[in-house]
Structure 1
Amino acid sequence: MSITERRHRERAQRHDLIIAAARNLAEAEGWDAVTTRRLAEIVEYSQPVLYSHFDGKDAIVRAVAIEGFVELAAAMQHARSQGGAPAAALRAVCGAYIAFAAARPALYQAMFALPVDVKFASAETPPPLQAAFAELVGVLRPFDAQPDQLAEVTWAALHGLAVLCRGGRIPPQGEDARIDLLVNRIIVGGTGAGR
């Protein structure tokens, strides 16, 4: 391995370490606790080293959010592939989305609540965001010939359920029934091709 290759590998490892530290700190103490000073202490690099990777906290949150979309897309893809028939796959994907949001609240907050410089629904949308949305579109295609809008509404419903449950506005014990209701409404309202 050349010196240049080794330096690139070490830089990538530092980059990943900073992102992991930010995620762990945010999950443990919230995003307000995530500062470049704290991260520098945790990863045992100077603040200038952190700034050589990221312009500041906002850039770190953006990187965390994009990583979150990679994980969300993978979780939904796995659920869809294990789901079986279209209705069961839709139920599995909705359940995977809600479970993802509940299991990683700080990550989910970075993805959907914190101000990040990430474009949604545009030509500039990063591939991980496109992949997550494509999972919803794919699982909804059997129920609607034009599933993009249905995917937006489903995403909004799932996001609302996740946020309301996390905030204690609705009780967590009704989660399965709410997902079933959402899935049944999508099935009844769609073309019925996948029933």
Structure 2
Amino acid sequence: MSPRPKIALDKQTIVLAAAQLANEQGSDHVTLALLAKKLNIKPPSLYNHFEGLPGIKRELALFSLEKLYDGLEAEALEKSPGEESVLAITDAYLSFARENPGLYEFALSAPDPSDGQVNRAGERIVRLVISKIQPFNLSDDEAIHAVRGLRSIMHGFASLEQKGGFGMPLDLDESYKLAVITFLRGMKISG
């Protein structure tokens, strides 16, 4: 048997390989055995960098939230606060879910809800969306309700699409945009 080729193994290399594995096969397929195989190492080598699978999943959750935030922020920065920037954010969200199906799953379910770093990454996304809905003149509570409503629309659509839940021959992007616009118009009326 020939020896395994040596690779430079560090946390970032492992996380990127785990992210690729998640996107290719789904979050449930991120296991120590499959990740080690992908990296061409033995599973115990992963313990030199992480506290087992829970540690890797925590890093994937954090990586996913940061990658999602970066995509949302990049789109939002190009637009003024209000309907145009919210539409850009919702488009970026759906694009992230489509392009990163495994990472998207990790962005939704952090392994430890009491993890401060992961929570802060999620809160950055909420603050970004709140900053872009300010022109709707919502109270603080109404803004949180609006973020929850938008998240429900975005996640519901992305989830249904990933599961093949839309079978009618109509443009999915148009359906998504109409759902978001209808929600935003409702905010204008109630806000």
Unaligned regions of 5+ residues in structure 2, if any? 1-7
Q: Does 1:117 align with 2:112?
A: yes
Question: Which of the numbers 123, 129, 132 marks the counterpart of 1:136?
Answer: 129
Unaligned regions of 5+ residues in structure 1, if any? 1-10
Show the counterpart of 1:5.
none
Q: Does 1:98 align with 2:91?
A: no
In structure 2, distance between residues paired with 1:61 and 1:101: 18
Runs of 4+ in 1 over 4 A off after TM superposition: none
Q: Does 1:150 align with 2:146?
A: yes
Show the counterpart of 1:178.
176
Question: Map of 1:14-29 to 2, 5 A cutoff?
Answer: 14-29=10-25
CA contact (8 A) 2:83 2:184 kept: no
User: Shift in Å at residue 191 of structure 1?
Assistant: 6.3
User: Shift in Å at residue 190 of structure 1?
Assistant: 3.1
CA contact (8 A) 2:22 2:101 kept: no
Show the counterpart of 2:62.
66
Identity in percent: 21
TM-score, reference length from structure 1: 0.79
Would the alpha carbon gap of residues 25 and 181 (structure 1) be closer, same or farther in structure 2, given more than 3 Å must change? closer
Would the alpha carbon gap of residues 119 and 182 (structure 1) be closer, same or farther in structure 2, given more than 3 Å must change? farther
TM-score, reference length from structure 2: 0.80
In structure 2, distance between residues paired with 1:176 and 1:58: 39
Report how many residues are paired: 179
